[in-house]
Structure 1
Amino acid sequence: MEEIRITGLRARAVNVPLQYPVKTAVGTVATSPLVLIDLLTNANVTGHAYVFTYTPLALKPTLQMVEELGALVQGMPLSPHDLDRAFNGRFRLIGHTGIVRIATAGIDMAAWDAKAKAHRVPLVELLGGKARPLPAYDSHSMDDVALGTKRARDAVESGFRAIKTKIGYATLDDDLKVVRAIKAVTGNAADLMVDYNQALSVPEAKRRGRALAAEGIAWIEEPTLQQDYAGHASIREALTTPIQMGENWFGPDEMQKAVDAKACDFAMPDLMKIGGVSGWLKASAIAEQHGLPLSSHIFQEFSAHVLAVSPTAHFLEKMDMAGPVLEPLLRFRDGNAHFGDEPGAGIRWNEEAVSQFLV
């Protein structure tokens, strides 16, 4: 059998609408700026992936970095682990983080997708697992009472048994008002998690966390600056509600530092920032070693496959950042994510929509 090699790469920038803007205590993501990646091979299969740049300001430099890397990997074997090692070596001096990490992770994901397609199996099977329903939660924004209760009611009626809302309002009373309104709607039908998006000081996080304990919150996410592992550990020690973090770990080494600091009860790597599928597998091993329940952060299509082979899999986050430019292959039913037996990771572009939202 001829060795499968990478023959080219195409990258496109799109800015797609969101059904609900992602409002947080530290800013609003009004649209979803994405770089779409097509990794071409000599096996007549193309790997697809996308990366999310949070702000349109980062679209152009991320697109350029992906294209530069595309020229670098052309002609290389379709071996994601070898690509990962090559990227880690090449960017050791400049630092394998930020836009560099985002771009290499996107290519890593596309390479895994292409490899699974070349073997005619879903990505989860290439990784040694099998597709299964995954517990999922519906991820909401800083929606205040009216929209927050509407979205919570809709989620419960759709079968979700867990919901996350973003808080960090001007006062603790405002936080409690929103949390209690949502709990009044959901009752015992769904767990409620809250996300501060790094908005609080350590003392304020302890103060608000103690007040939230009586509300039966399932976890408090990123209560203070994500890089302050000691601060998170101090908050965790002071509270009874579990602490969740991880979406801003750039690479498994940062995850390891957080774990060593005892900064969290739960872990939530972001597939793109952690280093793609290759980085996720390393993060999953760390989580298993330390008994940390592992949840995903956005990138729900790829995340379903890697969570299914993670020994400490906890929750898949339902937050659809790319839906307008994708064919709907991932389904949510009865509080679970369901992904089928299509080869690869389940990324298929809606080309008509892509052309509409091209930047």
Structure 2
Amino acid sequence: MSTPETTAHAAQQAGEATLDRISWIKLSSVTLPLATPISDAKVFTGRQKPMTEVAFLFVELATEGGHQGIGFSYSKRAGGPGQFAHAKEIAPTLLGEDPSDIAKLWTKLVWAGASVGRSGLSTQAVAAFDIALWDLKAKRAGLPLAKLLGAHRDSVRCYNTSGGFLHTPTEQLLENASRSVAEGIGGIKLKVGHPDGKVDLSRVTAVREHLGDEVPLMVDANQQWDRPTAQRMGRALEEFGLVWIEEPLDAYDARGHAALAASLDTPVATGEMLASVAEHWELIRNDAADIIQPDAPRIGGITQFLKLATLAEHHHLQLAPHFAMEIHLHLAAAYPYEPWVEHFDWLEPLFNERLQISGGRMHVSSRPGLGITLSEQARAWTQADYELGTRP
């Protein structure tokens, strides 16, 4: 059985092009409490309980040359301890490796845990390492990650989700929407999928009338409609001029999404719950979405996201990454077609920095890498940590 020492020794056999090596790794399991329990359609249909916290896996890396990187993955309702446990198992394989060889290291990490597969919890654990490696590379270059990747723009259209959950009373919905627009956010997304479709239509009508026709509006059913209901609700929602209808069907129903997308004028968006590039390819090859919504921490990190973005671009799809705006702002800025990024303020207590939003857009900062550092509050919310190698 290999040890960190033997793994590092094997990595020392690299050629003269290797200028630096990973010397220290720290993993942290952090639980972020939510101020208010969150309910979407999955709660109203009895499939899940309200969400009260989000579990994060943070990976911090350092090299012999003094460079550092940070990355994270996350899990909602369940899976956080599992991600942390898997990360502990595979972390030693990185010691002594060249941090520049990110694609090679992604493959090495996946093979270190090959028996648990190449999607789901295992690659979500790998994602935190991968994102930290990209952050390190951009910091070493002195560039924001978007600029390292090659940005098409320095700001991205953004929309707010956190004010539009199904548990929120309609009057509060209107207040939340007005506040978001006043703060410079460009679009508003509402949760739908209530067991009574009339409730959905009433809430969407109220927000559209309150905001007017000029503010971009999206809805998200969180996979809770069957095919007939999605068709009926999709037709009823056409009059509101929505930017998209999100997750109208089960995330793996590519054929159902394709039929729906072909029958509606309103674009169909989906993909956030998928956990690999291969799963997204099923959507793409079946023309199942007008807008693809990958989540870098869920599909294995930035390395995999870039592969998926190439496929999406080739098929002329729009892009609207899910959650984790601290990561996805950079990836969306590097996508050729004008994308959207999702604004959630939930994660702000975890970081010392804030993203700038104005004029309906989220702006890439001049800070190198992802441009984030962990706050003292994040340290205080740490449930467990694991450290190996030589601390810088």
Q: TM-score, normalised by structure 2?
A: 0.86
Quote the Cα distance in structure 2 between the aligned partners of 1:324 and 1:83.
30
Describe how 1:335-350 pairs up with structure 2 within 5 A.
335-350=360-375
Paired residue for 1:77? 98
Give the secondary-structure state (helix, strand or coil) at the position aligned to 1:53.
Answer: strand
- Does residue 47 (structure 1) correspond to residue 72 (structure 2)? The answer is no
Describe how 1:15-26 pairs up with structure 2 within 5 A.
15-26=31-42
Quote the Cα distance in structure 1 between the aligned partners of 2:315 and 2:38.
32
Paired residue for 1:358? 382
- Does residue 14 (structure 1) correspond to residue 36 (structure 2)? The answer is no
Q: Deviations over 1:144-165 (max 9, x none)?
A: 4122112111112222231111
Cα separation, partners in 2 of 1:330 and 1:255, compared to 1, 3 Å? same
Q: Does the aligned pair in 1 maintain the 2:152–2:336 contact within 8 Å? A: no
Paired residue for 1:268? 293
Q: Does the aligned pair in 2 maintain the 1:329–1:339 contact within 8 Å? A: no
Distance apart, 1:104 and its partner CA? 0.6
Distance apart, 1:93 and its partner CA? 5.0
Give the secondary-structure state (helix, strand or coil) at the position aligned to 2:122.
Answer: helix
Q: Does the aligned pair in 2 maintain the 1:11–1:38 contact within 8 Å? A: yes
- Does residue 195 (structure 1) correspond to residue 220 (structure 2)? The answer is yes
Quote the Cα distance in structure 2 between the aligned partners of 1:37 and 1:297.
20
Aligned length: 357
Q: Does the aligned pair in 1 maintain the 2:110–2:123 contact within 8 Å? A: no
Describe how 1:1-359 pairs up with structure 2 within 5 A.
3-27=19-43, 28-55=50-77, 57-78=78-99, 79-91=101-113, 94-129=116-151, 132-140=154-162, 141-142=165-166, 143-350=168-375, 352-359=376-383
Gaps of 5+ in 1: none
Quote the Cα distance in structure 1 between the aligned partners of 2:185 and 2:253.
32
Quote the Cα distance in structure 2 between the aligned partners of 1:270 and 1:117.
22
Distance apart, 1:131 and its partner CA? 6.1
Amino acid at match of 2:19: E
Q: Deviations over 1:168-212 (max 9, x none)?
A: 112111000110111122113411100000011111111111111
Quote the Cα distance in structure 1 between the aligned partners of 2:288 and 2:116.
27
Quote the Cα distance in structure 2 between the aligned partners of 1:95 and 1:308.
31
Quote the Cα distance in structure 2 between the aligned partners of 1:116 and 1:4.
15
Question: CA RMSD of the aligned region, Å?
Answer: 1.8
Q: Deviations over 1:33-72 (max 9, x none)?
A: 21222122222122111211112x4222111111222112
Amino acid at match of 1:5: R
Q: Deviations over 1:280-338 (max 9, x none)?
A: 11111011100001111111111111111111241011123421110123211121111
Quote the Cα distance in structure 2 between the aligned partners of 1:264 and 1:131.
24
Q: Does the aligned pair in 2 maintain the 1:330–1:346 contact within 8 Å? A: no
Quote the Cα distance in structure 2 between the aligned partners of 1:250 and 1:226.
11
Distance apart, 1:261 and its partner CA? 1.2
Distance apart, 1:101 and its partner CA? 1.0
Amino acid at match of 1:6: I
Quote the Cα distance in structure 2 between the aligned partners of 1:101 and 1:2.
26
Distance apart, 1:92 and its partner CA? 5.1
Q: Does the aligned pair in 1 maintain the 2:156–2:362 contact within 8 Å? A: yes
Q: Does the aligned pair in 2 maintain the 1:213–1:240 contact within 8 Å? A: yes
Cα separation, partners in 2 of 1:89 and 1:37, compared to 1, 3 Å? closer
Give the secondary-structure state (helix, strand or coil) at the position aligned to 1:47.
Answer: strand
Q: Does the aligned pair in 2 maintain the 1:268–1:297 contact within 8 Å? A: yes
Q: Does the aligned pair in 1 maintain the 2:20–2:98 contact within 8 Å? A: yes
Q: Does the aligned pair in 2 maintain the 1:164–1:194 contact within 8 Å? A: yes
Distance apart, 1:255 and its partner CA? 1.4
Distance apart, 1:94 and its partner CA? 3.5
Q: Does the aligned pair in 2 maintain the 1:131–1:341 contact within 8 Å? A: no
Q: Does the aligned pair in 2 maintain the 1:161–1:189 contact within 8 Å? A: no
Amino acid at match of 2:80: L
Cα separation, partners in 2 of 1:116 and 1:326, compared to 1, 3 Å? same
Quote the Cα distance in structure 1 between the aligned partners of 2:172 and 2:193.
16
Q: Does the aligned pair in 2 maintain the 1:160–1:335 contact within 8 Å? A: yes
Q: Does the aligned pair in 2 maintain the 1:6–1:41 contact within 8 Å? A: yes
Q: Does the aligned pair in 1 maintain the 2:218–2:243 contact within 8 Å? A: yes
Give the secondary-structure state (helix, strand or coil) at the position aligned to 1:256.
Answer: helix
Quote the Cα distance in structure 1 between the aligned partners of 2:267 and 2:317.
11
Cα separation, partners in 2 of 1:52 and 1:233, compared to 1, 3 Å? same
Q: Does the aligned pair in 1 maintain the 2:321–2:332 contact within 8 Å? A: yes
Quote the Cα distance in structure 1 between the aligned partners of 2:204 and 2:367.
39
Query: In terms of mean alpha carbon deviation, does 26-35 or 125-134 score higher?
Result: 125-134
Quote the Cα distance in structure 2 between the aligned partners of 1:264 and 1:125.
28
